[in-house]
Chains A and B, each alone.
Chain A
Amino acid sequence: SQQGEEDPQALSIQEGENATMNCSYKTSINNLQWYRQNSGRGLVHLILIRSNEREKHSGRLRVTLDTSKKSSSLLITASRAADTASYFCATVGLKTSYDKVIFGPGTSLSVIP
Chain B
Amino acid sequence: AAGVIQSPRHLIKEKRETATLKCYPIPRHDTVYWYQQGPGQDPQFLISFYEKMQSDKGSIPDRFSAQQFSDYHSELNMSSLELGDSALYFCASSPTGLAGDTQYFGPGTRLTVL
Which residues of chain A have a CB within 8 Å of any CB of chain B? Answer: 1-2, 30-31, 33, 35, 40-45, 48, 50, 88, 92-106
In contact, B99 and A96 (Cβ under 8 angstroms): yes
Q: A96 is contacted by which of B42, B90, B98 (Cβ under 8 Å)?
A: B98
Knowing A42-B105, A43-B105, A98-B48, the reply to whether A30 touches B92 (Cβ < 8 A) is no
Chain B residues with CB below 8 A from A97, complex form: 50, 55, 96-99
In contact, A50 and B99 (Cβ under 8 angstroms): no
- Taking the closest CB of chain B, its distance from the CB of A93, in whole angstroms, is 7
Question: How far apart are the CA atoms of A102 and B100 in the complex, in Å?
Answer: 14
Chain A residues with CB below 8 A from B96, complex form: 97
In contact, B33 and A100 (Cβ under 8 angstroms): yes
In contact, B97 and A98 (Cβ under 8 angstroms): yes
In contact, A101 and B45 (Cβ under 8 angstroms): yes
Knowing A2-B44, A42-B90, A42-B107, the reply to whether A101 touches B97 (Cβ < 8 A) is no
Knowing A100-B56, A104-B42, the reply to whether A41 touches B99 (Cβ < 8 A) is no
In contact, B42 and A1 (Cβ under 8 angstroms): yes
Which residues of chain B have a CB within 8 Å of any CB of chain A? Answer: 31, 33, 35, 41-45, 48, 50, 55-56, 58, 88, 90, 92, 96-100, 102-108, 110
Q: Majority SS of interface residues in chain B?
A: strand
Question: How far apart are the CA atoms of A34 and B88 in the complex, in Å?
Answer: 19
In contact, B55 and A103 (Cβ under 8 angstroms): no
In contact, A88 and B99 (Cβ under 8 angstroms): no
Chain A residues with CB below 8 A from B43, complex form: 43, 88, 101, 103
Q: Which of A33, A94, A99, A103 has the most CB of B within 10 A?
A: A99
Knowing A43-B105, A45-B105, A104-B42, the reply to whether A98 touches B56 (Cβ < 8 A) is yes
In contact, B42 and A48 (Cβ under 8 angstroms): no
Closest-by-CB residue of B relative to A30 is: B99
In contact, B98 and A88 (Cβ under 8 angstroms): no
Q: B99 is contacted by which of A1, A40, A95 (Cβ under 8 Å)?
A: A95
In contact, A103 and B42 (Cβ under 8 angstroms): yes
Chain A residues with CB below 8 A from B41, complex form: 105
Q: Name 19 A/B residue pairs within 8 A (Cβ), A-sorted.
A: A31-B100, A40-B88, A40-B110, A41-B107, A42-B107, A42-B108, A43-B90, A43-B105, A43-B108, A45-B102, A50-B100, A97-B50, A97-B96, A98-B55, A101-B103, A103-B43, A104-B42, A105-B42, A106-B42
